[in-house]
């Protein structure tokens, strides 16, 4: 090897040695997401902390809840549910690196024991055990999820940042620093005809339903039906009233469980009397 060739080889080796630490540092550099980075179906834009807080308060999150965040991003909603409200939380995030980051963030926040980040597709991952579902997705994804949400246990609470569910009107809307947050309670299915038994007598009830909005009628006598008053449905909780043949108002409250409802009714300030209704 000539002296010139040796000098070139030494210079090249020195360059490689100097570059090695920088290359190693780049290889082990922590993943840092950026606002607007592309994902599977959406770009990543984090929900501001003030909106996260309002969403979780609208849902009434408590330590008894299991919160699922569909499209968890950096994990902030799941982490807030655990850190501020004491809930258990699961985040579903499609991007593997983002999912790892979210789990690291949970560890940094000291809530890794109550927060689990799952790398997966929200449409291929079971979240039916959730008592609260949080969303920040595009409208078409909300609509794709809507049948799955409506099939969940009545009383499940759903919150969404920015986007609604078309004709499934929210139970509450909040505005936080110009950003909208929406809240729904998954309603029970009461559509159709029911046989009511109350106070030793029976009657036929009929309900119309559009999501949580209900109306109906009751058979009072042959060819005589009365309208239900103040009919309300919130999750599995139902209430309605009607005026009986004597002119007295009967006020019913109860719970819906599949093809059965039961609760108590009162006439004026009278005692609570049990009632049961079964779907026909």
In a domain, 141, yes or no: yes
Is residue 56 located within the same domain as residue 157?
Answer: yes
Say which residue, 84 or 199, is predicted with more confidence. 84
Q: Does residue 11 carry a pLDDT above 50?
A: no
Query: pLDDT band for position 149 (50/70/90)?
Result: very high
Write down which residue in 185, 205, 236 finishes a domain.
Answer: 185
Is residue 173 located within the same domain as residue 54?
Answer: yes
Q: Does residue 22 carry a pLDDT above 60?
A: no
Q: Poorest-confidence range of 23-32, 53-62, 88-97?
A: 23-32
Is residue 179 located within the same domain as residue 237?
Answer: no
In a domain, 41, yes or no: no
Is residue 130 located within the same domain as residue 165?
Answer: yes
Is residue 169 located within the same domain as residue 55?
Answer: yes
Is residue 206 located within the same domain as residue 242?
Answer: yes
pLDDT of residue 29: 64
Is residue 128 located within the same domain as residue 225?
Answer: no
Is residue 96 located within the same domain as residue 166?
Answer: yes
Tally of structural domains, the chain? 2
Write down which residue in 137, 158, 185 finishes a domain.
Answer: 185
Say which CATH number the domain at 92 has.
3.40.50.150
Is residue 59 located within the same domain as residue 130?
Answer: yes
Write down which residue in 185, 208, 225 finishes a domain.
Answer: 185
**Per-residue pLDDT tens for 64-118?**
999 999 999 999 999 999 999 999 999 999 999 999 999 999 999 999 999 999 9
What is the mean predicted confidence (pLDDT) over 187-197?
98
Question: What pTM was estimated for this model as a whole?
Answer: 0.87
pLDDT of residue 4: 45
User: Average per-residue pLDDT in the chain?
Assistant: 91
Q: Cα separation of 236 and 199, whole Å?
A: 23
Say which residue, 232 or 12, is predicted with more confidence. 232
Is residue 82 located within the same domain as residue 175?
Answer: yes
In a domain, 7, yes or no: no
Query: pLDDT band for position 160 (50/70/90)?
Result: very high
- Return the residue matching tokens 């190693």: 24
Q: Does residue 28 carry a pLDDT above 70?
A: no
Say which CATH number the domain at 264 has.
2.40.128.120
pLDDT of residue 37: 85
Query: pLDDT band for position 40 (50/70/90)?
Result: confident
Is residue 270 located within the same domain as residue 142?
Answer: no
Is residue 53 located within the same domain as residue 181?
Answer: yes
For 232, the domain range is 192-279
In a domain, 30, yes or no: no
């Amino acid at each position: 090897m000539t002296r010139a060739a040796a000098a070139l080889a030494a210079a090249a080796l020195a360059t490689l040695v100097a570059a090695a630490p920088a290359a190693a540092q780049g290889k082990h550099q922590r993943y840092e997401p950026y606002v607007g980075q592309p994902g599977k179906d959406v770009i990543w834009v984090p929900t501001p902390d003030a909106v996260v807080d309002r969403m979780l308060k609208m849902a009434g999150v408590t330590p008894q809840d299991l919160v699922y965040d569909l499209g968890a991003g950096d994990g902030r909603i799941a982490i807030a549910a655990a850190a501020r409200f004491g809930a258990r939380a699961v985040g579903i995030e499609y991007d593997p690196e983002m999912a790892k980051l979210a789990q690291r963030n949970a560890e940094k926040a000291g809530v890794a024991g109550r927060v689990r980040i799952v790398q997966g597709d929200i449409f291929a991952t079971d979240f039916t055990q959730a008592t609260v579902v949080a969303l920040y997705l595009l409208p078409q994804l909300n609509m794709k999820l809507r049948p799955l949400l409506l099939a969940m246990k009545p009383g499940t609470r759903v919150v969404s940042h920015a986007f609604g569910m078309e004709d499934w009107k929210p139970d509450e809307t909040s505005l936080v620093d110009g950003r909208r947050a929406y809240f729904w309670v998954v309603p029970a299915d009461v559509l159709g005809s029911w046989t009511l038994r109350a106070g030793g007598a029976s009657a036929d009830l009929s309900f119309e339903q559009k999501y949580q909005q209900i109306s109906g009628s009751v058979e009072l006598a042959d060819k005589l039906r009365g309208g239900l008053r103040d009919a309300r449905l919130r999750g599995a909780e139902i209430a309605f009233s009607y005026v009986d043949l004597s002119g007295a108002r009967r006020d019913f409250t109860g719970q819906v469980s599949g093809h059965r409802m039961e609760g108590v009714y009162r006439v004026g300030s009278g005692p609570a009397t049990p009632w049961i209704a079964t779907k026909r």
